[in-house]
Chain A
């Protein structure tokens, strides 16, 4: 069962464009993490958000955790080809122990 729904599933844009990807759930999460995964590699952590309403910035990437801690968004400004990859959100649900629940991911392609 996928607790986290990510949208869009695929996104193809040109260099310089802005984009937002979403991670939604009907469940409350104690924290949410965003990862980026490239082909043949494991996911790499980008950010962890733990407080409802929290906004974190990582260079051109802005992450937001919803007030109710059920959703999150990732906004990329002026996308570059190096941003290409699979973006995964993962949440630690209350009472789930140490298991991370991952969404299916958003596959982003940025063309020059």
Chain B
């Protein structure tokens, strides 16, 4: 379809391992966002890209988290030395342009479980 897609849909890993989560935004959307949603919580902002650059990474919890968007389309969220507290649903969203008033279209998320 033409929506935001995320892979994998589920990822189970062991504590200390490295994981990569992928997001394919809607074609032509210049803005891309990553959020994390823990059980019983609303989504929590992680990072925002405008084009290829990270315009706001203030939500990344620590330096184990890193995200890239090298060609201004697909983005990868990378988590090093995973911890059990990283377990959550990681949501990606894209919008035509940046800004909190513009509609963000969300993907179905990747459910990460760290054992």
A contacts, CB < 8 Å to B: 2, 4, 6, 30-31, 33, 40-45, 48, 50, 88, 90-92, 96-105
Q: Is B25 on the interface with A (CB-CB < 8 A)?
A: no
Q: Is B56 on the interface with A (CB-CB < 8 A)?
A: yes
Q: Please choose the segment from B11-19, B61-69, B78-86, B95-103 that sits at the chain A interface, where 4 or more of its residues have CB less than 8 A away.
A: B95-103
Contact with A along B35-63 (1 / 0, CB 8 A): 10000111111001010000110110000
Given contact pairs A6-B42, A98-B100, A99-B58, enumerate 15 new A-B contacts (beta carbons under 8 Å).
A41-B108, A42-B93, A42-B107, A42-B108, A43-B106, A48-B101, A88-B43, A97-B58, A98-B98, A99-B48, A99-B56, A100-B33, A100-B43, A104-B41, A105-B41
Q: Is B112 on the interface with A (CB-CB < 8 A)?
A: no
* Alpha-carbon distance between A92 and B101 when the two chains are bound, in angstroms: 8
* Alpha-carbon distance between A31 and B102 when the two chains are bound, in angstroms: 10
- Chain A residue at smallest Cβ distance from B50: A98
* Alpha-carbon distance between A40 and B6 when the two chains are bound, in angstroms: 12
5 closest A-B pairs by CB: A92-B100, A42-B106, A102-B42, A99-B45, A97-B56
Task: Tell me which of B48, B55, B103, B109 contacts A42 (CB under 8 A).
Answer: B109
Q: Give every chain A residue within 8 A of B104 (Cβ-Cβ).
A: 45, 100
* Alpha-carbon distance between A17 and B61 when the two chains are bound, in angstroms: 42
Q: Give every chain B residue within 8 A of A42 (Cβ-Cβ).
A: 4, 91, 93, 106-109
* Alpha-carbon distance between A4 and B45 when the two chains are bound, in angstroms: 14
- Chain B residue at smallest Cβ distance from A43: B106
B contacts, CB < 8 Å to A: 4, 31, 33, 35, 40-45, 48, 50, 55-56, 58-59, 91, 93, 98-101, 103-109
* Alpha-carbon distance between A16 and B90 when the two chains are bound, in angstroms: 35
- Least distance between B25 CB and chain A CB atoms (Å): 12
- Least distance between B35 CB and chain A CB atoms (Å): 8
- Least distance between A17 CB and chain B CB atoms (Å): 24
Name 17 A/B residue pairs within 8 A (Cβ), A-sorted. A33-B100, A40-B109, A41-B106, A42-B106, A42-B107, A42-B108, A43-B43, A45-B104, A92-B100, A92-B101, A97-B48, A97-B56, A98-B56, A99-B45, A99-B48, A102-B44, A104-B41
